[in-house]
Amino acid sequence: MSVDGDSASAFHKRCDNAGPTLVAAFTNDRVVGGWFPTEFLSSDDYKESDSDFLFVAQGNTFARAADTVAIVEKTGGVGPVFDYARGGPQWGATPPGLVIGPPLSPVSGGITGLDAEDTALGTLRTAKSTLGKNGSQYAYTSNNEDSLFGDGVREVQLSDVVVFCAIDLYLLY
C-alpha cells in the first residue's frame, strides 16, 4: 500500500489542513477517485459542495488509464462531502457515491458513545461505491454501471491510494 501507511490516521496526518484534494484509488482493473473541494480537518462533519466530482478509468496504472478517464456526473446539485477523522474521504451521503476507508463504527456518538479518534479506524485498503439509484447523488457511469467498480460491485480491496493536495499558495507568504 502507500509508503505513508493505509490507516485513516495516516491519511489525515498527511492531508489535514493541506487544501483541496484529488484522490486516486487503484483496483485490479480500474483507477477511481474524486475531487474533494475543501480541505480535510478531521472534523467528523460534512460540507455541502457543488464542485466535487468522481471519476473512473479503465486500467490499473495512471498510464494505462489516462485515455479512458470519465467524470461521473453529480445529480440534484449540491451534496455533501464528508470529513471523518476515523475514515478516508467520502463523496455523497447514504449511499455514498464513493467512500475510501469507511470508519469501522458510527461517527458522532450513536450507540458507541463518544467518538475516540484512535478506535475503529478505517483502512484505505477498502472502498465502497453506489451510483445512480437508492438516493445516490451521482449518476450512473458512462457505461451505465451502478458502481465505480463495475455494475453490481459495491465494495473492493484497493492496491493503492494516491493523494494530491492543493495547498493554498497564499498561506506560504
In a domain, 3, yes or no: no
Give me the pLDDT at residue 77, please: 74
Give me the pLDDT at residue 148, please: 95
Give me the pLDDT at residue 106, please: 64
Give me the pLDDT at residue 5, please: 87
Which residue intervals of the chain are DSSP H helices? 8-15, 62-65
Q: Count of domains in the chain?
A: 1
In a domain, 2, yes or no: no
Give me the pLDDT at residue 109, please: 46
In a domain, 111, yes or no: no
Alpha-carbon distance 166 to 14, whole Å? 12
In a domain, 110, yes or no: no
Q: Domain containing 37: what range?
A: 8-105+116-167
Give me the pLDDT at residue 49, please: 86
Which regions of the chain are under pLDDT 70?
1-2, 106-119, 134, 168-173
In a domain, 173, yes or no: no
In a domain, 1, yes or no: no
Give me the pLDDT at residue 155, please: 96
Structure-block grid coordinates of residue 84: 471523518
CB 37 within 8 A of CB 19: no
In a domain, 157, yes or no: yes
Alpha-carbon distance 29 to 65, whole Å? 9
3-state SS, residue 63: helix
Give me the pLDDT at residue 110, please: 44
Alpha-carbon distance 150 to 43, whole Å? 31
In a domain, 172, yes or no: no
Per residue in 18-64, pLDDT tens? Answer: 999 999 999 999 999 999 888 899 998 988 888 899 999 998 888 88
Give me the pLDDT at residue 166, please: 85
